[in-house]
Amino acid sequence: MFQIGEALVGEGNEVAHIDLMIGEKDSPVGKAFANGMSNLSVGHTPLLAVIRPNLPCKPYTLLVPKVTIKDLDQASQIFGPAQAAVAKAVADSVEDGVLPKNKLEELVIVCSVFVHPKAEDARKIFHYNYGATRLALRRAVDGYPSVEKIMYDKDRAKHPIAGFRVPRLWMPPYLQIAIDITDIDKVKKVISEAPDSDRILLEVGTPLIKSEGAKVIRKLREIAKDKFIIADLKTLDVGQIEADIAFNETADAVVASGLASIDTLNKFIYEAKRLGIYAFVDMMDVEEPLTVLKALKDTPNVVILHRSIDTEDRAKAKWGIIKEIKTQFKNKKILCAVAGGIKPDTAAKALKAGADILIVGRHITQSKDIERTCRDFISLLGEDIDQYRVHVE
């Protein structure tokens, strides 16, 4: 046996975070157990979990403090409520049948324990560490999480301690507000008046970036901390460098022009995906978007079917190829965005054609009631994503 478990339980300074390994004494876990007891490090002294002095639990469990112990107050919290909590949780897990009674002498556990230096309440330290250890043990034995759960939750969950959410495009359709205005005060007004919905994406438009520089992305991040922000650079050359620029300024996605060379687009898509941001390719004025997509080494995350502002009165929307794109690349997670004169009445038609993202600019940014106008579009998109966000377990 070589099982791994993890659990976070509680709140405040007493929050408990447990990482543990279970394995036979002659397994890598057994070696780690022996090394931990014989190779001590300052501030991280491992200790056996005991229910009370002179009564260790079985399987024998080695506690390893995650936080450097600097004084006796901290030491008493580890050599007290935390130690007892872990030992009691192991013993109760044996009693409940989570750990096999017939293998208690064969197995050992290495348990990494977090106790915040500012933790004060001994009862909470015990309570939270007991619960986290019980949960981590159960998860280790059950092989939790399954691959299916990881794939399902990875873009839905929010880490409670990170302090921000990394938004991902996991539940289309979305409304993308194209902010092409160059007055920074008006830009902030648009962002502040837009509804607080996960269905809204913010596009830092090309005119705004040209006016203020790429650093405007970081400035807007300060007032739109958890929003999905797209840097519309319309890259035509040095695709790798421009993807780096967008990433360094905290953008979640970056846009290249489909008119760029295939070599440029390949480097652009590779770099964006390497950095973990979304690669958008804007097919404005591209005669055969499918031909471009088929020529690429890898597909972009999002394809934009775009009528330019200067031609939207006479150019025909290319929504008809959405179905073909999704058929041709059905094994890829490729989203289709539509842009160019999108209004609530045309938005419904675009969604029916299979659009995943509605890109709307002037109709929102020049509206006298930005919130209401946004909600007109959001009403077409379905329920708010927050209703389906995964709760911390």
Residue 200's nearest CA partner among 169, 223, 221 is 169
Name the token pair of 293. 């997509």
Residue 347's nearest CA partner among 317, 323, 324, 367 is 317
d(CA 39, CA 150): 35
d(CA 303, CA 127): 50
Is-catalytic flag, 17?
Answer: yes
Catalytic residue among 17, 159, 306, 391: 17
Residue 350's nearest CA partner among 377, 384, 332 is 377
Helix (H, G, I), strand (E, B) or coil at 187: helix
94 with 104: CB under 8 angstroms? yes
191 with 224: CB under 8 angstroms? yes
Q: How far is CA 147 from CA 5, 204, 274, in A?
A: 15, 35, 22
User: Which one-letter amino acid corresponds to residue 125?
Assistant: I
Active-site residues, by number, are 17
